Amino acid sequence: MASKTKSRTRRAVSTRLTHLDARGRIRMVDVGEKPVTRREAIARGEVRMAPATLRAIVGGKLKKGEALAAARIAGIMAAKRTHEMIPLCHQIPLEVVEVDFNPDAANSALQIQARTVTDARTGVEMEALVAVSAAALTIYDMAKAIDRAMEIGGVRLVAKRGGRSGDFVRDGEPPWPIR
């Protein structure tokens, strides 16, 4: 069965909040009756910085060491522990967590992308978003000695596949490939 692709940007998609019960109390969603299906999510964010900071990160010239390697590991580790950080997330078995970087010299930014994949009853969007966030924070930590003015931002879901709600691809922003 082909799933319907939905493309959304900043508009609301539903007024029904699944994490609230009939009395308005917060709850963890019961996914026990949902089928196990293949699910994938891609998230992206960025760290803006001084041009010299970007060159130092990409060139491996930071005193703390290899920022990109540390940030990749931090993103992977964070994705695996998302359920411990986000109170209502289910613990799910991750099949794939990929974290990659794209230096953007024109905008003096480091683009970060994470891809997560599972066979489960619920999606992996939060795991991808947490991976990007942890990788960005690690970049900041690794380079803050030379640039405390760095800015982390733009963390967003770029695409998701699978599940009852169907596929999603953010308008005008196809995922760049993981290398």
Enumerate the domain spans of the chain.
39-169
| Residuewise pLDDT in 10s, the chain (179 residues) | 344 444 444 444 555 656 666 777 666 676 667 788 899 999 999 999 999 999 999 999 999 999 999 999 999 999 999 999 998 888 999 999 999 999 999 999 999 999 999 999 888 999 999 999 999 999 999 999 999 999 999 999 999 999 888 899 999 887 666 54
Q: What's the distance, Cα to Cα, between the start and end of the chain in Å?
A: 30
- This prediction's pTM: 0.85
Query: Cα–Cα distance between 40 and 79 in angstroms, integer?
Result: 13
Catalytic site positions: 141
Options 3.40.50.10150, 3.40.50.150, 3.10.129.10, 3.30.70.640; CATH for 39-169 is 3.30.70.640
